Amino acid sequence: MKSETLVLRGARVLREGSFLDADVQIRDGRISAVGEGLEGDVLRVCGDLVPGFLDEHIHGIAGHDTMRGAHDVLEMSRALARHGVTTFLPTTMNAGPEETNAALRGVKAAMQAGAPGADIAGAHMEGPFLGAAYPGAQKAGANLAPMLQNYSRLTEGAQDVVRLLTLAPENPGARDLIAALAARGVAVSAGHTDAKYEQIREAMESGLTQMTHLYNCMSPLHHRAPGAVGAALTLEGLSSQVIADGIHLHPAAVKLAVRACSRVLLITDAMEAADMPDGDYDLGGQKVFVRGGAARLAAGNLAGSTLTLERGVRNAMRFAGISLEQAAAMASANVADALGLADRGRIRPGLRADLCLLDAAGEVRMTLVAGKIVYER
């Protein structure tokens, strides 16, 4: 009878912040042991074995988009596995109530169907409770007042799907909504916001825990008005999303975030042009022009990214001068902790066997989700 235990042997394993030569034993989709000479069906591998990456902010990839429904979300799952991503939150755009609700129902349907690649851990609602001052590529005309009644209408039939919500905490009613969602276990992030430093601090008292795409679409740092950026860099307990693509952020800005923020979360904020050639694409019903890997609206606004997360990890290492151990944690353990996903994000017995094997150049060789190989090259 074939053993139901898989043993990965031959890789350097990232365990509790450092690499060691060890076997990883997998049983029933979870890591059952990490050590030497473990028993089971041995699969010999070569490279660096790190926790699978989690992307909590991604609109699309490989020609697919969250707003188009379950089929596209499932294809996003498949594509993301090629980049070492084992968990993701399909992310919505600012849109009308019916369109937003349909997208969330699509995410729910995809979750129920079963992901072919990266696990779908819920949805990230980016809007429609955003601020008018920093729309970015979001449709400011779709903004709604941050009221629980509006949230309930938008999420009808899919309330259990939302795991992360981005809003502007300075808007009237936002703090009450933050508190209500935090009580339900939904993480709340400040983004597309003109909030003052003090308003971010007050929102944290209500349950705000994250900052969406740090530096972008938020009140900047000034020495007499630190703004949302100053809050992210100085307030303990805030997790800050960072797009390390060299387009959204200067390398020095990434280095500053790594040095100053309580917790950095590497994200892509990718749209459908990720994994695709330069050309013309769509984001939230708006035409996007991708040239040299930079995605922009006709007016010049950045419109998401074409970044993939394994490239983000390599860029973070280069921009901030940090190790693979540190950068990998920013794309795995840090994100799992920020989302309250205690069953993943680390190579530890008892946790899900969500793993990524990297070669010496930092390219993905293999991705496992719950112990199943979903990508291999």
**Catalytic (active-site) positions:** 269
Q: List Cβ neighbours of 374 (8 Å cut-off, separation of 6 or more).
A: 81, 116, 117, 118, 367, 368
User: Cβ distance 94 to 127 under 8 Å?
Assistant: yes
Residue entry with tokens 């970044």: 307
Structure tokens at 178: 């933050």
Which pair of tokens denotes residue 270? Answer: 């990718």
Residue 342: Cβ within 10 Å count: 10
- Spatial distance between the Cα atoms of 309 and 303, rounded to a whole number of angstroms: 17
Rounded to whole angstroms, what are the CA distances from 86 to 10, 200, 297, 374? 21, 31, 30, 9
Amino acid, res. 251: P
Strands 239-243 and 210-211: parallel
Burial of 325 (0-12, 13-18, 19+ CB in 10 A): middle
What's the distance, CA 10 to chain centroid? 29
Q: How many CA atoms lie within 13 A of 278 on its CB side?
A: 6
CA max distance for the chain: 70
Cα separation, 174 vs 215, in Å, equals 21
